[in-house]
Amino acid sequence: MNTLSYRTVSANNATVQKEWFVLDATNQVLGRLSSQVASILRGKHKTNFTPHVDCGDNIIIINAEKIRLTGKKMTDKEYKRHTGYPGGQRITSPADIMQIEPGRIIEMAVKKMLPRNRLGNAIFHNLYVYSGSEHPHEAQQPKELKLNYK
């Protein structure tokens, strides 16, 4: 009699297969793009997903300056940070950040969707965001990634 074995496969650093993907952010909505990217970075799309291991893929996002925010979020949304000194609260809008460093908005959105621990910090280093259509990762032969929403 053949019995099936339903063993749980637990990944570790030696058994993880990481891939490289390139994603074009032209006319993509920030929140939808960020949630999909965070899930792929974490590795939740893989069958051997293990919560305590970095089993996600590397993602290169190009054309970060062409990201889209819905409604009036480009002017009304506020990013707050604090310098650590009394009266040191600083408030900026996405429009101001886009002028200085366009990829920063995508990085902040994805980072807040990852775990807030050492593993989340390690996973975040698998994300590469560039404004413009050029990136220095051609040697990794990234595959084009199409997101499945709309």
What CATH number does the domain containing 51 carry?
3.90.1180.10
Number of domains the chain contains: 1
Spatial separation of the C-alpha atoms in residues 120 and 99, rounded to whole Å = 28
Token pair for residue 42?
């974490």
pLDDT score, position 1: 57
Convert the pLDDT of each residue in 37-64 to its tens digit.
Answer: 999 999 999 999 999 999 999 999 999 9
Q: Looking at the domain assignment, is residue 62 inside a domain?
A: yes
Domain range for 27 is 20-144
Confirm whether 37 is domain-assigned.
yes
The pLDDT of residue 148: 78
Instruction: Assess if residue 149 is contained within a domain.
Output: no
> For residue 81, what are the β-bridge partners?
90
**What is the model's pLDDT at position 150?**
55
* Residue that has been written with the tokens 């040191």 in this structure: 88
- In order, the DSSP letters of 21-80 are EEEE-TT-BHHHHHHHHHHHHHTTTSTT--TTS----EEEEE-GGG-B--TTHHHH--EE
Instruction: Report residue 22: phi and psi, to 5°.
Output: -115, 135
Domain-embedded: residue 15: no
H helix or E strand, kind and range, residue 98: helix 94-100
7 found inside a domain: no
Whole-angstrom distance, CA of residue 63 vs CA of residue 101: 12
Residues of the chain with pLDDT under 70: 1, 149-150
Would you say the C-alpha torsion 25, 26, 30, 33 has a positive or negative sign? Answer: negative
Residue 5 falls within a domain, yes or no?
no
- The answer, as to whether pTM is greater than 0.85, is yes
Residue 13 lies in a domain: no
pLDDT digits (tens, 9 = 90+) for 125-136: 999 999 999 999
